[in-house]
Chains A and B, each alone.
Chain A
Amino acid sequence: MTTANPFPQPQTISGEDDFISESLLKKAWNRFRRHKLAMFGLLMMTIFVCLALFAPLLSRYPPNDIDLRARSEPPSAEHWFGTDRTGRDIWARTLYGGRVSLSVGLVAVSVSAIIGIVVGCVSGYAGGWIDMILMRITDTVQTFPSLVIIIVLVAIVGPSVYNTMFAIGILGWPGMARIVRSEVLSLREQPFVLAARCLGIPTSAIIFRHILPNTISSLAVAVTFAVASAILQEAALSFLGLGVQLPTASWGNMLQDAQTLSVLETMPWMWVAPGIMIGVTVLSINFIGDGLRDALDPRAIV
């Protein structure tokens, strides 16, 4: 069993420059590596991302090709995961659906993160009434029942991949804004920020060089969990028919077939594959998030 070094005994550098510098990143990676579940998550995600990236090489059929002679076929050597009710290859659709689901997660979270960082930074650094107004807006957005609002939004602008990304992203930022704000609030009072002010460094440079880079650790953790939740939201929306539209495959809309009782009971190959993909992806990303949280713990690094 090991523990964080309790002694204020840094690797004191001797006179000669023969000391191999161990970067912060390498230390964090070493800590991450010890987290078994996180490593499992990382492995799974690497596999899934590769599957999605190389989908054209890995599938024998285009995902949207309808083969009316081979409808609702169980898994076979021809169709590894079977076919759906219009005769599309489920293996191909699972791979291509992964592209859509994963990119919806990433893009939606990027939208949330950008809004969250801007709001959190301004709120935390400016303080006063600006902070108060921004935080009340954040509270308001956070209290929206997000799925309901997303459904309304999508109903107004029409369902599509891009609208889905945007709708999920636009409602996901309050959590990030809060995290960034609380980090900025405490970093703002750090002596090194005071030092930068004393050196006459302009405010924008203080925020971008001194404050934001130090929020990366907690932001990385938050972003990871948000990706998992965005993938779930996409799946839910598409399952309800409001997200990604057929014939484009996504893990969510592949589950639509399972709405029929007969499919649910007698043709499990149609929904098991995308279901497992969603489950494993969300779990893996959450494991990675846990690992990151331990690895990037600022108390352990500095």
Chain B
Amino acid sequence: MSSLLNVNDLIVKIYTEDGVVEAVNGISYEVAENEILAIVGESGCGKSVSVLSLLGLIPSPPAQISGSALFNGRDLLQLKEAKLKEIRGREIAMIFQDPMTSLHPLLTIGDQIGEAIERHLGVTKRAARDQAIEYLQRVGIPSAAERAEQYPHQLSGGMRQRVMIAMALSCRPRLLIADEPTTALDVTIQAQIVDLVKELQAEFGMAVIWITHDLGVVARLAERVMVMYAGNIVENALVEGLYEQPRHPYTLGLLASLPRLDAVPGSELPSIQGQPPNLLSLPAGCAFADRCSYRVERCKRDRPGLEGVGQGHFSACWESQLLVN
């Protein structure tokens, strides 16, 4: 598979009144064509920033962004805002946790999708409108023609997220970025959306970056997973490999602490002790060291980089060999 997006040594620092937040600390990753990549982590771990900063969606300043991000041969970080705007929506589409923030409240959803199609594909208003209704049908909105006449507030949360997906797809993007799109939805609706995206990804032949904190959704959806912690990628692996044999203590701890529907309920959950570090003053060594039960002397001193530990499996841990059972 050829690479669609190639991010190299991305660093994002955000200047706040409390100090400098080290949001992303020199990460590199690749997204292949037609691949579903999940980025997993807790709030503040940099999972959203590491993607949104590429698209000019993190205002700079106050953020300072460095590194490179090759998309289709162009470095996104060097492009002017006007050029980026062209790419956003046309080649790279996005859906967010709260669809209301990205839908115009005073325009009907048919008009909004139609407008996007008109602008990006240069078709007539009528044709754009027809296509909009087709897309609404495709994402599973019943009686799409009538729904197209409605305003965002008249739809439920799940429906709005479907509208966002229809809008994202309408310009046939090569990459879809989904930033916690199911976090605000109930499990039954979440299942519908996850299945829908998976289906559409195969049908439309696009790559997907799915940003989430839910390891259950990742297992259902993704092909490859990147686990982030305190602005670093700590593990990057194919999904089967990661769940079967996590090679970073953080991933291991996260998976162990989740109660599973298919396991015998125990009395105590094996939990990770302590708190994530303060991004205003990250430790010199491994950011997870304080909470890690595999910690050795070196972890406090040197920050480990991502190393290959198996077929397509990378881990940033000095002691990753200890995790093989």
Q: Residues of A with Cβ closer than 8 Å to B?
A: 1-9, 11-12, 30-31
- Asked if B23 is an interface residue, CB under 8 A from chain A, the answer is yes
Q: Which one, B80-88, B114-122, B157-165, B274-282, is touching chain A?
A: B274-282
10 tightest Cβ-Cβ pairs between the two chains A and B: A5-B16, A3-B62, A9-B44, A2-B17, A7-B44, A12-B275, A1-B61, A5-B18, A9-B279, A8-B43
- Asked if B96 is an interface residue, CB under 8 A from chain A, the answer is no
Q: How far is the CA of A1 from the CA of B277 in the complex (A)?
A: 25
Q: How far is the CA of A198 from the CA of B15 in the complex (A)?
A: 41
Contact between chains at A3 and B278 (CB < 8 Å): no
Contact between chains at B279 and A31 (CB < 8 Å): no
Q: How many residues of B contact A (CB 8 A)?
A: 17
Ordered by A's residue number, 21 sampled pairs between the chains whose C-beta atoms are within 8 Å are A1-B61, A2-B16, A2-B17, A2-B62, A3-B14, A3-B17, A3-B62, A4-B16, A5-B17, A5-B18, A6-B16, A7-B14, A7-B44, A7-B279, A8-B44, A9-B21, A9-B279, A11-B278, A12-B276, A12-B278, A30-B17
Residues in A whose Cβ lies below 8 Å from that of B279: 7, 9
> In the complex, what residue of chain B is closest to A27 when comparing beta carbons?
B17
Residues in B whose Cβ lies below 8 Å from that of A9: 21, 44, 276, 278-280
Query: Shortest Cβ distance from B215 into chain A, in angstroms?
Result: 20
Contacts A7-B23, A7-B44 given: A31-B278 contact, CB under 8 Å?
A: no
Q: Residues of B with Cβ closer than 8 Å to A?
A: 14-18, 21, 23, 43-44, 61-62, 275-280
Contact between chains at A1 and B44 (CB < 8 Å): no
Residues in A whose Cβ lies below 8 Å from that of B277: 12
Residues in A whose Cβ lies below 8 Å from that of B16: 2-6
Residues in B whose Cβ lies below 8 Å from that of A7: 14, 21, 23, 43-44, 279
Q: How far is the CA of A292 from the CA of B284 in the complex (A)?
A: 39
Query: Shortest Cβ distance from A21 into chain B, in angstroms?
Result: 14
Residues in A whose Cβ lies below 8 Å from that of B23: 7
Contacts A7-B44, A8-B44, A31-B17 given: A1-B278 contact, CB under 8 Å?
A: no
Contact of B21 among A1, A5, A12 (CB under 8 A): A5
Residues in B whose Cβ lies below 8 Å from that of A5: 16-18, 21
